[in-house]
Amino acid sequence: MRKQWILIAALAAAACTGTQNRGLESVHQPVVSRNDYVFDVATTRSGLAPGEAQRLAGWMAALRLGYGDHVAIDDPNGYAPAAHDQVATQVARYGLLLSDDAPMTDAPPAPGMLRVVVSRMKATVPGCPDFSRVSQPNYENQTGSNQGCAINSNLAAMVANPMDLVRGQSGSGMTDTFAASKAIDTFRKATPTGAGGLKGTSSK
């Protein structure tokens, strides 16, 4: 009998430890982190210095630049507008637009240099999977510690632009009424199924 009481006490203690999940909403939520990658290129009055465009193209290819990446130029002197156009051309090959809103880096570019900054977001769900709290017995009627790990981890892995998990996408402010009403217009112009009348049947 004493062993049974010890076992029950051990199970009760185990049920009280681990991740506390007191509501239906999971405590495990996607967390978005950002990494900044910098690349300095030499410039001249006519644009990028010879060979710099090739170096920049190789760096972008190594990073596997793609949708969701934010590419900006850090040019505190602003003396290289032609170089900006050349960098924008390289970025456009990946279907991205160049931004002048560059994040802060450790040190400013050296004179005569232009800094290209690639900001990449990544979404993860820390602590998943989480089996720190046994499902039974649960004397506090709490949701399991692993609740939400699967769906939120899949969401973090599949979202194309992790920043959308933080602030979403803003609307353009423009509405194409033709595109919006196209489906309804097609439905209205469709010939009714009974327009040809009902075919008679003959009985023998």
Domain boundaries, the chain: 32-123
Task: Give the architecture-level CATH label for domain 32-123.
Answer: 2-Layer Sandwich (3.30)
Q: How far apart are the first and last CA of the chain?
A: 86
Q: For residues 23 and 41, what is the distance between their CA atoms, to the nearest angstrom?
A: 52
Element (H, E) at 149: helix 149-158
**123-146, pLDDT tens digit by residue?**
999 999 988 877 677 777 788 888
Residues 86-109 have a mean pLDDT of: 87
For residue 197, the SS3 value is coil
Question: Can you count the helices (H) and strands (E) in the chain?
Answer: 6, 5
Residue 116 pLDDT grade (very low, low, confident, very high; cuts 50, 70, 90): very high
pTM: 0.63
